[in-house]
Amino acid sequence: MSYIVSMSTTKAREPESLEKRLEKRLARKRGDVFLRTDFRDLGGYDQVGRVLKGLVKKGQLTKVGYGLYARATPSVLDGTPIPTKNIRELAGEALGRIGVKTGPSRYELAYNAGTSTQVPTGRVIGVMGRVRRKITYNGVPVRYERVGPSPR
């Protein structure tokens, strides 16, 4: 009889939702850029996509490309979610995550050398090799400029 009593008094633990497990993993991750494939072991492709879309709606993440998300914080001006880093840093981190080496663009080189007074916006990234991934924020895409030999 003690077995029956103990079974009725103990509650069965409900499994954690995919959203909770994904939020825990986001909290543990070091970088600010996440690929959808970072979470493929937690659930199916569509399930993970739905949860990521929900986190974008909640304002915890922003979408910066296909399968590419960035950590977000509320803006001090109007409260809309904005990335925690500027677009140059996000694009550099994202390209590094997909295996593309980056370097300074000709605009950054000219500004740093003192031959130009125009401050680079960070919307042009110097890449070594070919890149097809489109990275955007607020509808403005990051452009790529070939700066060195292909890393073969």
Q: How confident is the model at residue 2 (pLDDT cuts 50, 70, 90)?
A: low
Q: At what angle do helices 45-58 and 18-28 cross, to 10 degrees?
A: 70
> What ranges do the domains of the chain cover?
16-85, 86-152
pTM of this prediction? 0.81
From residue 140, alpha-carbon distances to 18, 87, 134 in Å are: 32, 10, 10
Please state the length of the chain: 152
Q: What is the dihedral angle through the alpha carbons of 86, 99, 102, 131, rounded to the nearest 10 degrees?
A: -90
From residue 44, alpha-carbon distances to 8, 18, 39, 47, 59 in Å are: 34, 10, 9, 5, 23
Checking if the pLDDT of 8 tops 60, the result is: no
What's domain 16-85's architecture?
A: Orthogonal Bundle (1.10)
Q: How confident is the model at residue 148 (pLDDT cuts 50, 70, 90)?
A: confident
Checking if the pLDDT of 4 tops 80, the result is: no
| Pair of tokens at residue 62 | 């922003």
Q: What is the pLDDT of residues 45-101, one digit of tens each?
A: 999 999 999 999 999 999 999 999 999 999 999 999 999 998 889 999 999 999 999
Checking if the pLDDT of 7 tops 60, the result is: no
Over the chain, what is the mean pLDDT?
88
| Pair of tokens at residue 74 | 């509320």
Interatomic CA distance for residues 131 and 146, integer angstroms: 9
Checking if the pLDDT of 3 tops 90, the result is: no
